[in-house]
Amino acid sequence: MNPHSAATPVRRRVLTGLGGGTALALAPAGASAASASRTASAAQATALATATATTDPALHLLRRATFGPTPALLAEVRAAGTTGWLDAQLAPLTQVSDTAMEAVLARWPSLGWKTWQVRERLPQFGSWDVMFDLLESHLARALFSRRQLFETAVDLWTNHLVVPVPSSEVWDNAHLFQRDVIRKHALGRYSDMLNAAARHPAMLKVLDNADSHKKAPNENYGRELLELHTVGVGGYTEVDVKMSALALTGLGVDSESGLYSYKPQRRFVGAVKVMGWSHANTSAEGGDAVVTSYLNYLATHPATANRIATKLAVRYVSDTPPSTLVTKLAQAYLANGTAIAPVLRVLFLSPEFAASAGQKVRTPYEDALASIRILGLRPEPAPAPGESDLRDLLWYTGTFGQAPMGWPAPNGYPDVATAWGGASGTVNRWNFHLGLAGNWTLKAMTRPDVTSLVPSPLPTTYAALVDALAATLLLTLTTAQRDAICRFVDHAPTDVLKAGSAAVTWRLPSIVALLLDSPNFATR
């Protein structure tokens, strides 16, 4: 399906009323792009400054530990208790049944293919079909899996050990990198994930170690391993980078099978020293074990502990997390042998997390997923290959600037609010909200009609209607925000609402979209 043909012309909504309490305005579709961009930028700046924080601990947990709360999920957390729900989410394979998601995953049998099977079964060498299956399944899991905390961790590590998809370098193995490196270890030990990544053809190709040789060592992976995957900038020297590259020689890819292959003929032999780690490295045949020693040293280095702790705290707590929390998380990381689940438990049960409500803003990708989840969309009936709403959603996230696995550089997408303040992306998200609410976007997915959001009996005033819709969407509005939406439909807040009025018929999708446009919904 072509998203362009499925879209319905919409009006750009300017949310100054929702953000700062001033008049709500509409920019017609024919308005100049520059004017719309300036207005959107100002609106978003105001919105981020006025986002309201929830005082509900269950809702706060769900905004951070999932890709968007739903009323059903909120009820589940209240029934289990926040700690009980969290503990189950930290042991998802044994504690959280996900049979419906497993049934959906059966749509992509290619995700179980080995590298040689991809090469053998696809009609054209270098085909991107399996990579698109991977991306669709990644979106589906984020949207529909009951193992939500696990899926947020998968997304975090995907954005940490970056393998860009789609890419011709990984056309036959990117799905296996996700399965055997990221998903296998997302809540396990980071040292195991690091070792698995270092021996996966996808990482070795993307960062050029597959071509590294003792006579001409390639420094790319050796540098990124230090700078991005472990200790971070400032903890090493250029000499360390050169030694890091030598320490990784021999890790390669078999050209015929496409599998990891240790190649002793390429291995540098001789003493190697990086930071506080050293090894005699006396034989080419023993190089693989030397690499394990090196990677384990880096994984358990205090600087790596601090870096991983900071990354987790930025994702789940604040753009500028408290140093007290980072210290606690780093200590938990080292005390638990680099295991991630215990660190996350400390994080979510910490007073710093409890105090952080309102301190994170959803990225465009998260905003799209949360919108779909709160409106109750479910997987469409089995579509034809390449024709699914998930493929369309992949396109939409690209227009927001954040398609999954789409960051081309090894440093990953930024996870701070200031990185996502562009006017174009904001307007695209607003129009996406309206398309979802009006059932013009992702039309093949099953969903309740938007009128199901209107309570029965019908609220008596326009103010009561807006408040009720906001509550259903798990939002709390300020009086100024509520009144701005009432004025948008040309009524005072106290006006009597009648059955069949525009606000509960043809203008209802616009009201719902405005609520999704609000800073309250943008808050992670």
Alpha-carbon distance 114 to 111, whole Å? 8
Q: What is the mean pLDDT of residues 320-334?
A: 98
Residue ranges per structural domain of the chain:
1-51+361-380+420-524, 207-287, 302-354
Check whether 4 has a pLDDT greater than 50. no
Strand 12-14 relative to strand 251-253, pairing: unpaired
Q: Which pLDDT tens digit goes with each residue over 158-176?
A: 999 999 999 999 999 999 9
DSSP notation for 155-209: HHHHTTS---SS-GGGTTTHHHHIIIIIIHHTTSBHHHHHHHHHT-HHHHHHTTG
Alpha-carbon distance 173 to 178, whole Å? 9
Query: For residues 109 and 52, which has the higher predicted lDDT (pLDDT)?
Result: 109
Cβ-based neighbours of 404, under 8 Å, separated by 6 or more: 135, 138, 139, 142, 155, 158, 365, 394, 397
CA dihedral defined by 492, 493, 498, 500, rounded to 10 degrees?
A: 80
Residues of the chain above pLDDT 70, percent? 90
Check whether 41 has a pLDDT greater than 80. no
Check whether 94 has a pLDDT greater than 60. yes
Q: What is the mean pLDDT of residues 322-340?
A: 98
Alpha-carbon distance 485 to 505, whole Å? 15
Check whether 15 has a pLDDT greater than 90. no
DSSP 495: S
Mean of the per-residue pLDDT values of the chain: 90
DSSP 377: -
Binned at pLDDT 50, 70 and 90, residue 422 comes out as confident
Q: What is the mean pLDDT of residues 125-152?
A: 96
Asked if 402 and 364 count as a contact pair (C-beta separation under 8 A), the reply is yes
Which residues lie across from 12 on neighbouring strands?
A: 27
Short-list 247, 343, 260, 356, CA closest to 296: 247
Asked if 97 and 161 count as a contact pair (C-beta separation under 8 A), the reply is no
Alpha-carbon distance 87 to 223, whole Å? 37
Short-list 211, 276, 221, CA closest to 247: 221
Alpha-carbon distance 443 to 222, whole Å? 46
The predicted structure's pLDDT at residue 320: 97
Binned at pLDDT 50, 70 and 90, residue 53 comes out as low
Q: What is the pTM of this model?
A: 0.90
Q: Which pLDDT tens digit goes with each residue over 248-290?
A: 999 999 999 999 999 999 999 999 999 999 999 999 999 999 9
Cβ-based neighbours of 478, under 8 Å, separated by 6 or more: 21, 50, 52
Check whether 471 has a pLDDT greater than 80. yes
Query: Which amino acid is present at 36?
Result: A
Residue 386 zone, left/alpha/beta (φ > 0; ψ -120 to 50; rest): left
Q: What is the mean pLDDT of residues 221-236?
A: 96
Query: For residues 161 and 16, which has the higher predicted lDDT (pLDDT)?
Result: 161
Binned at pLDDT 50, 70 and 90, residue 126 comes out as confident
Q: What is the mean pLDDT of residues 395-419?
A: 95
Residues of the chain above pLDDT 90, percent? 86
The predicted structure's pLDDT at residue 172: 96
The C-alpha angle with vertex 312 and arms to 311 and 314, in degrees rounded to 5, equals 65
Q: 127: which 2 tokens?
A: 């085909």
Asked if 516 and 18 count as a contact pair (C-beta separation under 8 A), the reply is no
The predicted structure's pLDDT at residue 52: 56
Long-range contacts of 114-120, Cβ-Cβ distance < 8 Å, separation of 24 or more: 114/176, 115/172, 115/173, 115/176, 115/201, 115/257, 115/258, 115/259, 116/257, 116/258, 118/171, 118/172, 118/173, 119/172, 119/258
Binned at pLDDT 50, 70 and 90, residue 80 comes out as very high
Q: 250: which 2 tokens?
A: 């021999």
The predicted structure's pLDDT at residue 124: 80
Binned at pLDDT 50, 70 and 90, residue 383 comes out as confident
3-state secondary structure 85-113: HHHHHCCHHHHCCCHHHHHHHCCCHHHHC
Alpha-carbon distance 342 to 344, whole Å? 5
Which residues lie across from 26 on neighbouring strands?
A: 13
Q: What is the mean pLDDT of residues 112-133?
A: 92
Binned at pLDDT 50, 70 and 90, residue 123 comes out as confident
Q: Which pLDDT tens digit goes with each residue over 54-79?
A: 679 999 999 999 999 999 999 999 99
The C-alpha angle with vertex 512 and arms to 423 and 389, in degrees rounded to 5, equals 75
Count the helices and strands in the chain (H runs, E runs).
29, 6
Check whether 491 has a pLDDT greater than 80. yes
Short-list 201, 206, 278, 205, CA closest to 246: 278
Q: What is the mean pLDDT of residues 191-205?
A: 98
Check whether 6 has a pLDDT greater than 70. no
CA dihedral defined by 168, 173, 177, 178, rounded to 10 degrees?
A: 80
3-state secondary structure 291-344: HHHHHHHHHCCHHHHHHHHHHHHHHHCCCCCCHHHHHHHHHHHHHCCCEHHHHH
Binned at pLDDT 50, 70 and 90, residue 311 comes out as very high
Check whether 21 has a pLDDT greater than 80. no
The predicted structure's pLDDT at residue 520: 94
Check whether 17 has a pLDDT greater than 50. no
The predicted structure's pLDDT at residue 427: 92
Binned at pLDDT 50, 70 and 90, residue 29 comes out as very low
Check whether 238 has a pLDDT greater than 70. yes
Binned at pLDDT 50, 70 and 90, residue 16 comes out as very low
Query: For residues 489 and 382, which has the higher predicted lDDT (pLDDT)?
Result: 489
Check whether 347 has a pLDDT greater than 80. yes
